[in-house]
Structures are given as C-alpha cells and as structure tokens.
Amino acid sequence: MQEVAVLPWEKIAWSDEHVQLIYRDWGLFYTHKQQLDIAAKYYDKSLELKEDDSRALYFRSQCKRNIAQTQGALEDGLAAGAIEPNNAPINLEICDALYELNQFENCKVELHDNTHKFYGKKVSAFQNRLIVVDENFKDSIGETLGPFILRNEKIFAKVLEQFEREKYVDPRPLWKILREQGKCDVLSVLEKEEVLLSPREIARRERAFKVFNQIYYNKSWIDVLFLKDLRDNMNLLLPQCKVSTPYLRHLTNTKYEVLKKFLKMLQARSPLYNEQMRKCPDKKVWEKHRQAHLNHIQYQTRRNMLTILRTIRQLRAAGKIKQLGKYVEEVMGDYVVLKTHRVMPWKFQFINEVYNTLALAYADIFMEPPDMNVHYDAKNRLIRLLKMPIDKNKDRVMRFVFGDKSTYQEPDAIDYTLLAYKKYLARLEKRMHFAKYSIEKCYLLYEIAQSHLTQSRFEECCSVARKAIEETKNCNSYLWRFLSILLICKSHAVLHKVERGRDALNEAYECAERLKCGELMHFIDLCRVSVETEISLKKRTQSFDSVRRRKSRLSVGGSSHMSQYSSGSANNNADERNEEQEQEEQQERQVTAREFQ
C-alpha cells in the first residue's frame, strides 16, 4: 500500500506530552458531560502515550466505576496508588472500588489503614465510609439474617452444590466424561437440555423480578422492565437494517448488564430480607396484612370464576362452539393454571365444571340434520353427518385479478396456518406436561388430536385419540371418551376406511348408551346406517366391476373366434349392455332409498 505524503499544515507540531494532556482533558470534559464511553476512550489514548500518569489512571478509574466496570476501576486505582502511594484521593478511590465490588471486608481493612495513614481533613472521608460499611454489615448479617436462615436452611445445600458445579471445569476430553456417565461418547457437540418450568413457576419468577426491582429502583422499575423486553423487540431490532441492528442489540444488552450489576451492588449492601423487615418490623402485623391481601385475591378469584362459568354457559346456549373453545383454552391455560388452592379452594370442582360443559357443547353438534334426506348423497353422507369438510380445496380457490399482486401466491410465502398449528400444539404439549387432573389431560389430548385432524394428519389423530380414550378410564368420563372415539370415526371416514369406522361407531354407541342420551344414540344409528350403505355400495361396485371384466374377457375371446359377425351386431350388443347397466343402477337407487325410508 502506497503511503500518502502528509502536508505541512496537517502535521501536529505538539509534543507527545502536550497531546497526552489534551487527551486527558478531553476525557475529563466528556466525563462531566456524562458521555462516559467516549471519555474512557480518550483516557485510553492518554495512557497509551504515558502509562505512568496517575491522574489519568485516577480519572479512568472513576469513569469505569460509573459504567459498572468495577474490576477495571480497581486495577486502575491500584496502578495509580503504586505511583503515588501517599495520595489520599487515589487511596479513597481504591476503597470505593472495593466497596462497589462488594468486598466489604477488604474495604474496611483498607479504610482502617488509611485512617492511620492520613490526618486532618483527609481522614474524615475515610471515617464516613467506615460508618457506611459498618451499617452494611448490620443490614446483611445483623438481626434479620437469623429468620432468613431458618426459613431457607433446607435449600442451602442445593444452592451451594449448584455453585460448586458451575465453578468446576473438567479438563478431560468430552468422550471420557460421557463414557463415565454412561452416555454416547460419539457426540462432539452436546444438546442443551431445556429446563421446563411450570406456568406457576414462570409467573412467580416474573412477579419476584418486579418486586425486586420495585424495592431497589422505586418508580424506575418500569424502565428496567422495558429495557429487558427491548432486547428482543423486533420493532427495534429490524432484520432489514444490517448496520444499525447489531449496534442497537449490543447497546441494549450492554446497558441491561450495567443495570444488573448496580442492582447486585444494592442487594449486597442491604439484602432483600432486610428491606422487607425494614418496611414492616412487626411480624404479626405483616402476617395480618398478608392474610388480608390473600383473602381479597380469593374473593376476586371467586367472582371471576362465576363470571367465567356464566360466559361459558351463554356461549354454549348461543351455539358459538369455536369461540367457546378459544375462551376455555385462554382461561384455563393463562388464568386458572396460575391459581393455588389458597386463593381458589374449589379449583378441582371448577375445572370439572368447565371441561364437562365444554364437552357437552362439543356433543351438541352431533345431531340429525333436518335436510339430511334432501341434500346428503349416499357417498358423502357420513362425512357430512360428522361435520367434516367435503373438499378443502374448494375453499382455497381464489379469483385472480389481472394486475393485483395479492391474488398470486408466492412460492416462498409463509404458511401462517402451519405456524399457528405448531404454536398451538407446543402450548398444549407443555400444558400436558404439568397437568395434574385426568379430566384436564382428556381435554388436552382431545385438542391435540383435533388439531392433527384439521391438518389432515389422520394417523397422529387416531394415536392421540386412543391415548385420550385410555385417559378417560382414570376419571370415568364417558363423554370425553365418546368425543375421542368420534375423532377416530372422522379420520376413518375421510380415508374411506368404512370397516374400521363401523367398529369405532359401535364403541361410540356403547358410550352413548352409558350416557343414557337418546339423541346421541339416534345420531350414531344414522352414522351406522350410512356406513352400512357405503359398504353395500362398495360391494356392489366391486361386483359390477368384476362382472364387466368377465364380460370384457369373454367378448375379447369371442371376437378372436367369431370375426365373421358384422359391425352392426356388435353395436346391438353394446346397446344391450348399456340398457343392463342402467337397469342395475336404477335397482341400486331403489334399494338405497328403501333403506333410508
């Protein structure tokens, strides 16, 4: 690379000492303006020119403490103290760095040494900090520590064991570690085990995070929560912006880490148990307020339960089944699952009532349609009775308009229906992992099978529906068993597996008999008649095909030996076969009509 000659007026005529002082003053200027990152860069340039500048080290130590780089601040303070050991501000800076590193014991030792080292007005700053450190010791290991240890002594061993496990680094190769653990030692990259947390535990941690920030940051806690959510906000981190997005992601993550470090400093000086005790020193009054708060939540929860049941019954009466299913999933998956038996004493009874009402609403769909004999043909009668779409492709037909780009589907377009299906399926499977009651598991398995059915995954639908049938035996719910069997019937009906569908309908009829519901029994009878009709049509079609094949073989064999017949007689034979076929079809229609009558 060719070097460009520097013009005379572009040369800096100052010496390195002068430039170093300019950089240091610029750093001090930006420190006063609270632009600490820029100030740190100028301090770095100043120290590159002169490494033993104690003032630049002192200023950079202060700057690093303000941006939560406490370890670097301590190193700069020690380096400045080695240059000027009798400088009181530099020694005070070392003590402040130790204090912000939460090393209170070392800080107190350093403060005591400096009180004997200096005299006059210089000692007062060290003495004031000694008072603060002593108060921090009282807050952290004072009278409030004993009750905290008694409440949490059972989990101390687990916490210490986890700390030791995180600190220990095994220097051996990965395959040796895996072989000792009895795992596959061929894997070069281990899969990260996902820690599944229950919805109640997730809600507890979110609430504890808010309370923790409210105690130490007061009204600014909402800004911390906003910054935490901002790190993954796609409205800020736009994937289209290749330059600004990495910078903004680094900025938000850095600032959030700074906040976390300051929060740890505040928590070390006055732990959470001390702050709670300080707000309410009397235990009896604190317990009284706690019970009053829980009673208020319990009363409000009871009112919400009554409102939920009223809404569910109204939706069922109005026949809005899809809206009812979404409402139940939202309520049970986001609200009821977070409640304990302290604030919801009748939780099991409420869950039973909700899921049974939903099952009754699903069963209300299956009844004899009034126009069955008029509009329902013999071939698709069972599919129509089970409320299954005849042809999904008809609904996807779009009218193409010339010049309108929205009517043309792109080849790489996102399938939002598939994404919604996967998201809903993951939600149900996660709920299934933490479900306690059998009736809730029956509902979740039914919804999983139903979602498979909507995506035309019939084998998965049948498999999950059979699991739901087995689960119904634990809670003696014949209603959910009936609905799960009907899902299997729907899958067989779409695949035209009429024999298997007939067996499933027989099981459904037994469930309807146990439920003592005449409407469901009549509906199953209609479905069975439709299946028998379809089986008879299938057999007749097969017999007609075999007869036609036999006749075609005979006609081919006869034509080779009777070539003397004219073309006119062949046409007459074809007309006779057509008349016979028409007569057979007419007889078939008569038999079908007689069966339905």
Can you give the pLDDT at residue 193?
75
DSSP code of residue 190: P
- What would the DSSP string read from start to end of 494-510? HTT-HHHHHHHHHHHHH
Q: Are 512 and 482 in contact (CB under 8 A)?
A: yes
Position 175 pLDDT exceeds 60: yes
Please indicate, yes or no, whether the overall pTM of this predicted structure exceeds 0.85. no
Q: Does the pLDDT of residue 47 top 60, yes or no?
A: yes
Say yes or no to pLDDT of 208 above 60. Answer: yes
End-to-end CA distance of the chain: 98
Residue with tokens 């090393």: 103
- What is the pLDDT, as a whole number, of residue 205? 92
Answer yes or no: is pLDDT of 430 > 70: yes
Main-chain phi, psi angles of 564, to 5 degrees: -80, -15
Average pLDDT over residues 3-9: 64
Is 589 a residue whose pLDDT tops 70? Answer: no
CA angle 510, 482, 327 (to 5 degrees): 160
User: Does the structure show a pLDDT above 60 at 572?
Assistant: no
Mean of the pLDDT values across residues 131-154?
A: 90
Checking if the pLDDT of 523 tops 50, the result is: yes
Run of H or E including 67: none
High-pLDDT (> 70) share of the chain, %: 82
pLDDT number for residue 494: 87
> Pick the residue with more confidence: 412 or 422?
422
Q: Is the dihedral of CA 554, 555, 556, 557 positive or negative?
A: positive
Buried b vs exposed e over 334-355: b needs ≥16 C-beta within 10 Å?
Answer: eebbbbeeebbeebeebbbbbb
Name the band, by pLDDT with cuts 50, 70 and 90, for residue 56: very high
Q: What is the mean pLDDT of residues 464-487?
A: 93
Residue 398 predicted with pLDDT over 60: no
pLDDT at res. 410: 62
Task: Give Cα separations from 102 to 18, 143, 262 (angstroms).
Answer: 38, 20, 11
201-228 average pLDDT score: 92
For residues 177-185, average pLDDT:
78
